[in-house]
Structure formats: C-alpha cells, structure tokens
Amino acid sequence: MMKRCHKQNAPETILLVEDEYLVNDLTKQILERAGYRVLSALNGKEALSLFRKEMDRISLVILDLIMPEMGGRECLEELRKLDPSVKVLITSGHLVLETEREDIGSAAKGFVNKPYTMKQILTAVREVLDSD
C-alpha cells in the first residue's frame, strides 16, 4: 500500500518540472492519485514563473535536469535565490556522474533516475517532504 500525502488542511502542493509531455502527464497523474496537488511546467522558465506566484503553497519541486530553454541546474539556482529552503527532488534520464550528483545534492534533497516506477517516485517524494 502506497503512503498517501499528509492531509492536514489541504493537500501538499508539488511543482513538477518536466519537458517530456508523456512523463509530465504520467507523473502528474501518479502524484494526484496519491493525494497531492500538482502544478506542472514544461521548462525552467515556466517553473520559475509558477514558483513566484505559488511559492507559499509549494511544498516540493520535482525538477528534471535536462530541459530546453533553461536547464534544471540553472532553474535550481534561481529557485534557491527565491527560497533558500526550497525542497527539490531531481530527476534525470541521463547519466549523472557521482561528482555531479554530490554538487547538485548540496542544493537538492533527493535524486531519482528515469525511468522511475510509481513506487520509486512516491517514496522519493515522501522522503524529501519529510526531510528537515
């Protein structure tokens, strides 16, 4: 049985930043079925615009590393300028070297390789949301 999100007053809000339409849609469906409210963006610029508007309600950002227009690294830097305590879960379908992962890891709370399973993404989301 999957852990569902905590439903105190309202569902936790996740900003999903993924440029592949199919992955974006499928991940959004998985998260919504688990009880999360999901905002989605197809690139870093769109994500920053949404984050500025909704940052008080966003509990977590799921951020793809490789995207057109503004990649995940640059987006992560900008998100941290807006909110240094933002919780970010990085996803990538590309090989990420351990040194890169450590570098990103100082700014992000978690990392999930694509393709991921429903269980992997939900577990990673919960772990990051529950982290300090």
pLDDT tier at 69, thresholds 50, 70, 90: confident
Q: Is residue 70 part of a domain?
A: yes
HEC sequence for 12-55: CEEEEECCCHHHHHHHHHHHHHCCCEEEEECCHHHHHHHHHHHC
Query: Could you tell me the residue range of the domain that residue 18 belongs to?
Result: 13-130
pLDDT digits (tens, 9 = 90+) for 94-123: 655 454 555 565 678 888 988 999 999 999
pLDDT digits (tens, 9 = 90+) for 10-43: 789 999 999 999 999 999 999 999 999 999 999 9
Query: Could you tell me the pTM of the whole model?
Result: 0.87
Q: Is residue 119 part of a domain?
A: yes
Q: Is residue 3 part of a domain?
A: no
Q: Is residue 51 part of a domain?
A: yes
Q: Is residue 4 part of a domain?
A: no
CATH number for the domain harbouring residue 82: 3.40.50.2300
Q: What pLDDT sits at residue 93?
A: 77
Q: Is residue 26 part of a domain?
A: yes
pLDDT tier at 3, thresholds 50, 70, 90: very low
